[in-house]
Chain A
Amino acid sequence: MFTQLQIIFLSGAIIFLTTIFMHLVHKNSSLVSLYRVQSFVISALILGSAIEISSILLMYVAIWMFAVKVIVAPYFFNKSIKHYQLKFTSSTYLNTPLTVLVAALLTGFAYSHYFEPLTILAKENGSGLLLSVATILISIFLIINRKGTLSQMVGILSLENAIVSFAFLSGLEAAPSMQLGITFDILVWIIIASVFINMIQNKIGTADSTLLNNLKEE
């Protein structure tokens, strides 16, 4: 029904849309679900590429990535959310319209002439590549804008998803060893960050990272 190029583009579009919605939602659990959707799309992409090249290793990598990102990571997050009652994450530095405005400006920047020559990386899928560049910029903005520690974590993970989608769209899907290493790294990162969130929650009492006043005392 769709050609392979269109499927890749659609996946890029889905990732872009989920990132924008991450900016708009207020509940932590919605954030985690959006991240789940993103990771699902990414692992489906890698799986598709694995089937196409018929590489068993890449298929293992895809399954591993699926397990880590779609099952394990949201599990950790949901556990933290339930345990510490981190229901809402609407604390941001900019209010919602300004957030969306900055996101729109970043998208415009990604499509401007600064990044135009980057499209040679992608053969025919130029607008899809620029879309993933916009996703990267918007993910970085998500990390900066949010005050809650859980949303910062999800921001970093969605940035990693966006970079993988960028790699995919520019034809770099290769090197299963690389993907394996990255996924393993992400797993360790998630474990450590979850431990940190637990520590923060225990010691400081909230997961709101604007309480950096603690650092100013000395």
Chain B
Amino acid sequence: MSVIIIWTIQLILVPVLSPLFLGIVRKIKARFQNRVGASIFRPYRDLWKLFHKDEVISEDTSWIFRFAPYLIFTITLILGACIPLFSTLFANNVLSDFLTIVYLVALSTFFLALVGLDAGSAFGGIGSSREMTLAALTEGGFIFPFLVLSLLAHSTNLFSITNAISSLPIFDSTPIILTFVAFVIVMLSETAHFPFDNPATHLELTMVHEAMILEYSGKRLALIEWAAANKFLIFLALGANMFFPWGLITQSSVWAVALALCIFCVKTLLLATFVAVLESSIAKFRFFRLPDLLFVAFILSAMALFII
């Protein structure tokens, strides 16, 4: 019985909480800009509003346009279910492998890029080409931190990695810190935050992620925005739990679950605050500087490999 409850929580945690984190980040940024800002539950209302709106679909689009939002949203749901969020009870051997995670994310990016091209508008093309450039460079930086972690933990399963990392001696902490820095850079890139992309921009020439979804409206737009919020929370959870895996429960009592949920929220909140503060303090980089940054992330993880 308790296992069913925990499973349910694991399944719905990401979709339910992700708009909240989006709202929190926006609120912190608004505070930095001396505004009151919208309430942190605003994204939920936005999603509800979008679900009740009519859709307009261009006639020049293909089936990908209609099909992609469902695919992307489902991928984020699956990802949310198979990463360690608050417990290590589900050592699901196939889907919890880090390579699977990386390539599921790549699959969703691929379809998103296709969608941008699908409607035939110029802005979608800009967004897609930029996104693919960044995605190609980010992949190395994405895999290598996990590679370092799995070399330290002697396994590629995310749950076993978290188990192993939490019991490592302190002598192995240097590579973890180095790769964490690299992972943060990659997270910023994949979730379209500063310095890679401005999620609040309305200028099409500066968009990367937003440009690809310009043509969407109504419930498909809601799904895509929700999927983006899910992706953000997934990356936050990965960063918090893979590199600082203390607080994941192994038993299934009610108090343990509640405590683990609290710790999870605290950790991801800390990371989200960090992202918000970063967004408020630096400017978006010009596009030609981004490959340098991604390359630096990749090499930092390579350096961490040497130190193991």
Residue of A nearest to B298 (CB): A97
Q: When the two chains form their complex, are residues A13 and B177 in contact, meaning their CB atoms are under 8 A apart?
A: yes
Given A24-B296, A95-B292: A100 and B170 within 8 A (CB)? no
* Chain B residues in 8 Å Cβ range of A16: 174
Q: When the two chains form their complex, are residues B306 and A10 in contact, meaning their CB atoms are under 8 A apart?
A: no
**Distance of A127 Cα from B307 Cα, bound (Å):** 8
Given A108-B306, A111-B307: A131 and B299 within 8 A (CB)? no
A175 interface contact, C-beta 8 A: no
**Distance of A13 Cα from B131 Cα, bound (Å):** 36
* Chain A residues in 8 Å Cβ range of B295: 97, 100
From B170, B292, B302, A104 is in contact (CB under 8 Å) with B302
**Distance of A134 Cα from B174 Cα, bound (Å):** 13
**Distance of A100 Cα from B299 Cα, bound (Å):** 6
B295 to chain A, nearest CB (A): 4
A57 interface contact, C-beta 8 A: no
From B169, B173, B306, A107 is in contact (CB under 8 Å) with B306
From B173, B296, B307, A97 is in contact (CB under 8 Å) with B296
B303 interface contact, C-beta 8 A: yes
Interface of chain A, main secondary structure? helix
**Distance of A131 Cα from B303 Cα, bound (Å):** 12
Q: Give the interface centre of A101, A104, A111 by most chain B CB atoms within 10 Å.
A: A104
Given A97-B299, A100-B299, A108-B306: A131 and B174 within 8 A (CB)? yes
Residue of A nearest to B303 (CB): A104
Q: How many A-B residue pairs have CB under 8 A?
A: 53
A202 interface contact, C-beta 8 A: no
A66 interface contact, C-beta 8 A: no
A177 interface contact, C-beta 8 A: no
B278 to chain A, nearest CB (A): 15
**Distance of A96 Cα from B292 Cα, bound (Å):** 7
Q: When the two chains form their complex, are residues A2 and B303 in contact, meaning their CB atoms are under 8 A apart?
A: no
Q: When the two chains form their complex, are residues A100 and B296 in contact, meaning their CB atoms are under 8 A apart?
A: yes
Given A100-B303, A104-B302, A104-B303: A128 and B171 within 8 A (CB)? yes
**Distance of A13 Cα from B171 Cα, bound (Å):** 9
Given A104-B306, A107-B306: A10 and B296 within 8 A (CB)? no
Q: When the two chains form their complex, are residues B307 and A131 in contact, meaning their CB atoms are under 8 A apart?
A: yes
**Distance of A24 Cα from B174 Cα, bound (Å):** 17
Interface size band for B: 10 to 19
Chain A 80-108 near chain B by CB (<8 Å), digits 1 or 0: 00000000000000011100110110011
A17 interface contact, C-beta 8 A: yes
A77 interface contact, C-beta 8 A: no
B149 interface contact, C-beta 8 A: no
**Distance of A101 Cα from B297 Cα, bound (Å):** 10
* Chain A residues in 8 Å Cβ range of B171: 6, 9, 127-128
B275 interface contact, C-beta 8 A: no
From A9, A96, A103, B303 is in contact (CB under 8 Å) with A103
Q: When the two chains form their complex, are residues A96 and B296 in contact, meaning their CB atoms are under 8 A apart?
A: yes
Chain B 272-308 near chain A by CB (<8 Å), digits 1 or 0: 0000000000000000000011011001101100110
Q: When the two chains form their complex, are residues B299 and A6 in contact, meaning their CB atoms are under 8 A apart?
A: no
* Chain B residues in 8 Å Cβ range of A128: 171
* Chain B residues in 8 Å Cβ range of A104: 299-300, 302-303, 306
B178 interface contact, C-beta 8 A: yes
From B170, B178, B299, A17 is in contact (CB under 8 Å) with B178
A104 to chain B, nearest CB (A): 4
**Distance of A96 Cα from B216 Cα, bound (Å):** 38
Interface set of A (CB-CB < 8 Å, partner B): 2, 6, 9-10, 13, 16-17, 20, 24, 95-97, 100-101, 103-104, 107-108, 111, 127-128, 131, 134
Could you show 18 A-B contacts with beta carbons less than 8 Å apart?
Answer: A6-B169, A6-B171, A17-B177, A24-B296, A96-B292, A96-B293, A96-B296, A97-B299, A100-B295, A100-B296, A100-B299, A101-B299, A103-B299, A108-B303, A111-B306, A111-B307, A127-B171, A131-B174
